Amino acid sequence: MTSDGIREYLWKNAQKDKRILYLAGGCFWGVEGYFKRIPGVLETRTGYANGLTENPTYQEVIGGSGHAETVKIVYNENVIHLEELILHFLRIIDPYSVNRQGNDVGVQYRSGVFYPDETQRQRALAVIQQYETQQRRKTAIEVTPLAGFYDAEDYHQDYLDKNPYGYCHISLRTAAEPLIPYKIHKDGSPDALRLRIGDLAYNVTQNSSTERAFSSIYDNFYERGIYVDIVGGEPLFSSDAKYKSGSGWPSFTRPITADALEYVVDESYGMQRIEVRSRQSGSHLGHVFDDGPRESGSLRYCINGAALRFIPYDAMEREGYGAYRIFVK
């Protein structure tokens, strides 16, 4: 089974915390096609939102009803953060364009986040404002309350599934690319790596060894920040997801982003377990089990502390992890 297949199996059986987000990003065929490919997204519907009339038809929308082509996204908050969905959204739109995306022009193609509650507004704005600060430029994205959503006609639903060569202003392949690209550290040789990280971390990450239970400094460590791969430096877990499992190893309910880890079937020692590795460095981290807290998705990422390096929240910007601050509350 592939890593994506294992991940899909794990999260399909994880406890669900269903949430809904409404995104307008130009032609809804492509926006829906993209988000259907994102782990943690459970359902999508194309429709029309925030216009002047009720139950509009497509012809009425293009005729000036004021609605935006919008995708209703039902997702599992235990698997993917709202913040991740907004980052995906920013990746596939031109955030500075007014009433236009790609070749499509008109008020119905404006970009927007239409929120059903105040918490969503605050979380979405935090991501957009961080993006604007990084880019040093204001976006043209509407962040406004949802004022009516009406399903589009049946032929607009799952359009690119039914018409795989149909029009799409978005490259759907980008859905499989890392959400936040990170250039990992590379050592010149195995000996150089061992010298830098030490024998224990080397044996854990490179030879799939396991540290002794209750031996890690991170076992009962709960400071605010993120945990990164000691080998390549790529972000793995947020302190928000860390909890006391009593297992003797640092435990987390979820990775920092849905695409952060690789999953491998491990049949060593006469058992069948799911091993987790860092996506870019390929470091062995530990295993994931289904006996975690139900309210957080039921998963327990049991991780060797020797495979981790902790970055305090206040040092994240300085150490090049500023983009991940939105994942630490």
168 as an active site residue: the answer is no
- How far apart, in whole angstroms, are the C-alpha atoms of residue 263 and residue 299? 14
Largest CA distance in the chain: 68
Q: Write phi, then psi, for 308 (nearest 5 degrees).
A: -115, 155
- How far apart, in whole angstroms, are the C-alpha atoms of residue 21 and residue 131? 19
In angstroms, what CA-CA distances link 184 with 31, 120, 226, 232, 280? 30, 32, 16, 5, 7
- How far apart, in whole angstroms, are the C-alpha atoms of residue 185 and residue 234? 8
- How far apart, in whole angstroms, are the C-alpha atoms of residue 193 and residue 206? 10
* E strands present in 40-140: 41-49, 68-76, 100-101, 104-105, 111-115
Structure tokens at 149: 């959503």
- Which residue of the set 21, 24, 27, 299 is catalytic? 27
- How far apart, in whole angstroms, are the C-alpha atoms of residue 161 and residue 154? 13
- Which residue of the set 152, 302, 308, 311 is catalytic? 302
Residue with tokens 């507004």: 121
> Residue 129, SS3?
helix
- How far apart, in whole angstroms, are the C-alpha atoms of residue 247 and residue 253? 13
- How far apart, in whole angstroms, are the C-alpha atoms of residue 152 and residue 157? 7
Structure tokens at 20: 């809904």
Structure tokens at 85: 């969905």
Catalytic residues: 27, 302
